[in-house]
Amino acid sequence: MERILIIRYGEISLKGLNRPYFENTLLKNIKTAVKHIGDMNIYKAHGRIYIELGDHDDEEIIEVVINVFGIVSVSVAYIFEADMDKICEIALEHAKECLEKDDIKTFKVEAKRANKKFPVKSPEISRMVGGYILKNTDDLVVDVHNPDVTINIEVRDKAYVYSRKIPGFGGMPYKTSGKAMLLLSGGIDSPVAGWLVAKRGVEIEAIHYHSYPFTSDRAKEKVLELARILSRYCGRIRVHSVNLLNIQKAINENCRLEEMTILSRRFMMKIAERVAMDRKCKALITGESIGQVASQTIESLNVTNASVNIPVFRPLIAMDKMDIIKISKTIDTYETSILPFEDCCTVFLPDRPVTKPRLDKILKSEELLDVEGLINDAINEMEAIIIKSED
């Protein structure tokens, strides 16, 4: 019997005249995501996208597809010519499959007749199919309020029967909302921030700062692994790796130690902005959350913002740590993020960093540095690495 994967999307359906653009982008993203599995027919119809499964492994395809942004849920369905006797027969067969797989005792039938030419209306389809299943099974009873399984029947151009609805992440199709540069550290926060913005359809590149040889190659590999995990959702990601050590040394030699954190942060933002503009990114993304560390007080954020002229997206700004950790576990970055490898922020770390910096004082400190020379040297020595999930 022919099986098909039904793919549902949400926000896209509200896009009016722009809807075809978002649908076509989502369709393209799905085709790209499953390309490595093999050839299959993927098409859109009736406000949904369908994949003809053929002999392919259902679970393998589902595991990939639910990570594609824009998808609300998926279901494996039987598809066949719409005929009432056939609907009853297939629904019964599917109910028996559910009995074999799970410890279920109750069920209900939900029918939707999108094809108004079909002679049996939705409520009657539900009653007829429910009665047929009850008559031909010994271990099932109807529970319309809290069933163990719901047998769904849809009548469109053909009939579809399914039960499971596997949730996706929703959001908007990737690469439909411009492009931004993610400041990616080895911590918990920044990968989550990048994932959340990518979920809104923004294409991301990443920039990572290290202080080699004061920080190890293992710390760098940790960040690249985080980018690799993000690429499961975003496809290939370009990571720009920048050595911040000479900048940190210059700050340490010429400025007050308690300003190390905020001055380093301003350099990071300035460099990220330069690279972002060169790569046609329209915004920066950070994992900052109010009050989490010294560089994330309102005063520090104001001073940091003053270093750049493009928008800075901070999707975690009002989230507490447990909320962020929960998402990181969901998207599988948490275990990598907590690996105990140092990052550039630990180099020349002051005991008491300034928490309420004043912009005028920070600008005076920067006058003691060759800001442009340091930025240019760091960018000239920058390394670009392309990361893909299958690497």
Domain boundaries, the chain: 3-167, 179-387
Two structure tokens written together for 175: 């690469």
Residue 287 is predicted with a pLDDT of 96
Residue 388 is predicted with a pLDDT of 87
Is 8 annotated as contributing to ligand binding?
no
Residue 17 is predicted with a pLDDT of 82
Architecture, CATH, for domain 179-387? 3-Layer(aba) Sandwich (3.40)
Q: Which residues of the chain have pLDDT under 70?
A: 341-349, 390-391
Residue 347 is predicted with a pLDDT of 59
DSSP bridge pairs for 384: 240
Residue 12 is predicted with a pLDDT of 85
Residue 220 is predicted with a pLDDT of 87
Is 339 annotated as contributing to ligand binding?
no
Is 245 annotated as contributing to ligand binding?
no
Q: Measure the CA–CA gap between 14 and 340, rounded to whole angstroms.
A: 45
284 contacts 311 by C-beta, under 8 angstroms:
yes
Is 209 annotated as contributing to ligand binding?
yes
* DSSP type of residue 132: H
Residue 153 is predicted with a pLDDT of 98
Q: Which of 65, 71, 58, 61 is nearest to 8 (CA)?
A: 71
Residue 343 is predicted with a pLDDT of 63
Q: What is the pTM of this model?
A: 0.93
Q: Measure the CA–CA gap between 48 and 195, rounded to whole angstroms.
A: 24
Is 334 annotated as contributing to ligand binding?
no
DSSP bridge pairs for 349: none
Q: Which of 186, 109, 102 is nearest to 147 (CA)?
A: 109
Residue 384 is predicted with a pLDDT of 97
- Which ranges of 255-315 would DSSP assign to H, the alpha helix? 260-278, 298-305
Residue 212 is predicted with a pLDDT of 81
Is 184 annotated as contributing to ligand binding?
yes
Residue 291 is predicted with a pLDDT of 84
Per the document, the length of the chain is 391
The class level of CATH for 3-167 reads alpha beta
Is 296 annotated as contributing to ligand binding?
yes
Residue 216 is predicted with a pLDDT of 78
